[in-house]
């Protein structure tokens, strides 16, 4: 039995022991894609499994709402624009947004937004109200500017989705195109990520929506409302903190590009090598205002999170602290081990609270196998 078959069987066993309905898993190295597995089942009853690249497969790769895996991807755009001289990361947000020219907001910088150290809220108090009236990303950013930071920016770490609404407004002001268009121009197009969108295009939504995987919903999202994860509104909004649609294979292309220091397989440069390097290194360790635990034990790159071995959100027990990646609330995970130059993407349609156990077990199987090669 081949190593890849052993890996496949171990992953399928974990999935069949779970209640996950849909999962797509792809892993590989900087130079090639390894296992590709598509799973559609129900707690082991009548499960369908296909392995990418096999002729006669009954299943095709799924287009998933990847939730917060969106954040590090949008962050790459910000770091790339900084490398091109459009701004510097310690530049105050108020240089671009007049609404930040008050109180403690005056000291919030782009670096704070990228490292979750701004003190801004994860979600706005009026989050559901805004979603119910189909607010734009700009309206979420406007609401964020009305909030006072929970702490002096740079003095603590607190996960902050709304910081990415603000960041998107800055990127659009600088680039003079939407973030979705900028992402298509800079990353999705050059990497051939044809099944990825930061918000499904409105003029293609009717055709594309049925091709996306529906999510199981968390208790906070009514099934019959028009703003939940499965709604047309949410899937076309393009929320820079969690609205990207993608496939495991497409995300693998991005991780391979980062491992190649910004070059694609054909040698085409896509990202500046410096962008790839500093985005995934510990950036919080340089912030003297942070507690030592945050600086050294809970490190963040620029939009990317490093592995936290002693934390419940550890990417895998078999990854070093230097590994980098991100979780998503819709039950998604991607990571890279820079030591072995291996990567992994796990996409499911089950909320993180229910899927985390299975995802971490699958992640362990893949990360441990990588150490044996």
Q: Tokens 């999202």 belong to which residue?
A: 221
Single out the residue of 309, 335, 257 nearest to residue 25, CA to CA. 335
**Alpha carbon distance 373, 98 (integer Å):** 53
Q: Is the pLDDT score of 371 beyond 80?
A: no
pLDDT, residue 42, reads: 60
59 band by pLDDT with thresholds 50, 70 and 90:
low
Single out the residue of 261, 330, 337, 283 nearest to residue 65, CA to CA. 330
Q: How many CB atoms lie within 10 A of CB 88?
A: 11
**Alpha carbon distance 223, 231 (integer Å):** 9
| pTM of the entire predicted model | 0.96
363 band by pLDDT with thresholds 50, 70 and 90:
very high
290 band by pLDDT with thresholds 50, 70 and 90:
very high
Which residues, other chains included, contact 133 with Cβ-Cβ below 8 Å and sequence gap of 6+?
none
Write out pLDDT tens, residues 204-244.
999 999 999 999 999 999 999 999 999 999 999 999 999 99
**Alpha carbon distance 325, 258 (integer Å):** 11
Write out pLDDT tens, residues 110-120.
999 999 999 99
Q: For residues 284 and 114, is the Cβ–Cβ distance under 8 A?
A: no
What's the mean pLDDT when you consider all of the chain? 94
Write out pLDDT tens, residues 303-356.
999 999 999 999 999 999 999 999 999 999 999 999 999 999 999 999 999 999
Q: Report the share of the chain in percent with pLDDT over 70.
A: 95
**Alpha carbon distance 251, 36 (integer Å):** 12
**Alpha carbon distance 373, 364 (integer Å):** 15
Which residues, other chains included, contact 100 with Cβ-Cβ below 8 Å and sequence gap of 6+?
92, 93, 94, 106, 108, 145, 166
> What's the mean pLDDT in 73-77?
98
Name the CATH superfamily housing domain 71-180.
DD-peptidase/beta-lactamase superfamily (3.40.710.10)
Tokens at 20, concatenated:
């996950």
Of the listed ranges 29-43, 52-66, 161-175, the one predicted with least confidence: 52-66
Q: What is the fold of 1-62+312-373? A: Beta-Lactamase (3.30.450)
Q: Which one is predicted more confidently, 137 or 1?
A: 137
Q: Is the pLDDT score of 263 beyond 60?
A: yes
Q: For residues 213 and 22, is the Cβ–Cβ distance under 8 A?
A: yes
Write out pLDDT tens, residues 37-55.
999 986 445 568 887 655 4
Q: Is the pLDDT score of 58 beyond 60?
A: no
Domain with CATH 3.40.710.10 in the chain: 71-180
**Alpha carbon distance 142, 158 (integer Å):** 20
Domain with CATH 3.30.450 in the chain: 1-62+312-373
pLDDT, residue 2, reads: 76
**Alpha carbon distance 166, 156 (integer Å):** 19
Q: Is the pLDDT score of 361 beyond 50?
A: yes
Write out pLDDT tens, residues 240-253.
999 999 999 999 99
- The strand ranges marked E within the chain are 22-29, 33-40, 48-51, 64-65, 197-198, 244-246, 305-306, 324-328, 332-337, 342-348
Q: For residues 284 and 295, is the Cβ–Cβ distance under 8 A?
A: yes
């Amino acid at each position: 039995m081949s190593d890849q078959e052993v890996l496949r069987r171990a992953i399928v066993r974990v999935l069949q022991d779970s209640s996950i309905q849909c999962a797509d898993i792809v892993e590989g190295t900087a130079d090639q894609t390894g296992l590709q597995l598509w799973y559609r089942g129900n707690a082991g009853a009548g499960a369908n499994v296909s392995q990418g690249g096999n002729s006669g497969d009954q299943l095709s790769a799924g287009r998933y709402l990847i939730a917060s895996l969106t954040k590090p991807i949008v962050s790459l755009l910000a770091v790339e624009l900084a490398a091109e001289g459009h701004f510097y990361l310690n530049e105050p947000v108020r240089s671009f947004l007049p609404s930040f020219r008050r109180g403690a907001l005056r000291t919030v910088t782009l670096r704070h937004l990228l490292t979750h150290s701004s003190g801004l809220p994860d979600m706005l108090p009026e989050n559901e109200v805004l979603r119910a009236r189909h607010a734009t990303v700009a309206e979420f950013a406007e609401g964020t500017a009305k909030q006072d930071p929970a702490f002096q920016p740079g003095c603590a770490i607190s996960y902050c989705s709304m910081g990415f609404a603000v960041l998107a407004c800055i990127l659009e002001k600088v680039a003079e195109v939407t973030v979705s268009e900028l992402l298509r121009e800079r990353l999705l197009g050059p990497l051939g990520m044809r099944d990825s969108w930061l918000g499904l295009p409105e003029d293609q939504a009717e055709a594309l929506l049925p091709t996306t995987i529906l999510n199981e919903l968390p208790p906070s999202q009514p099934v019959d409302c028009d703003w939940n994860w499965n709604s047309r509104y949410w899937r076309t909004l393009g929320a820079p903190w969690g609205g990207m649609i993608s496939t495991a294979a497409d995300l693998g292309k991005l991780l391979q590009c980062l491992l190649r220091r910004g070059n694609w397989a054909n040698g085409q440069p896509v990202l500046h090598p410096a962008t790839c390097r500093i985005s995934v290194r510990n950036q919080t360790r340089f912030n003297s205002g942070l507690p030592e635990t945050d600086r050294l034990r809970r490190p963040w790159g620029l939009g990317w999170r490093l592995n936290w071995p002693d934390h419940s959100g550890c990417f895998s027990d078999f990854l070093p602290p230097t590994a980098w990646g991100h979780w998503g609330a819709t039950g998604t995970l991607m990571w890279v081990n820079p030591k072995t130059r291996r990567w992994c993407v796990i996409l499911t349609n089950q909320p993180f609270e229910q899927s985390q156990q299975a995802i971490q077990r699958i992640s362990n199987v893949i990360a441990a196998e990588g150490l044996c090669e």
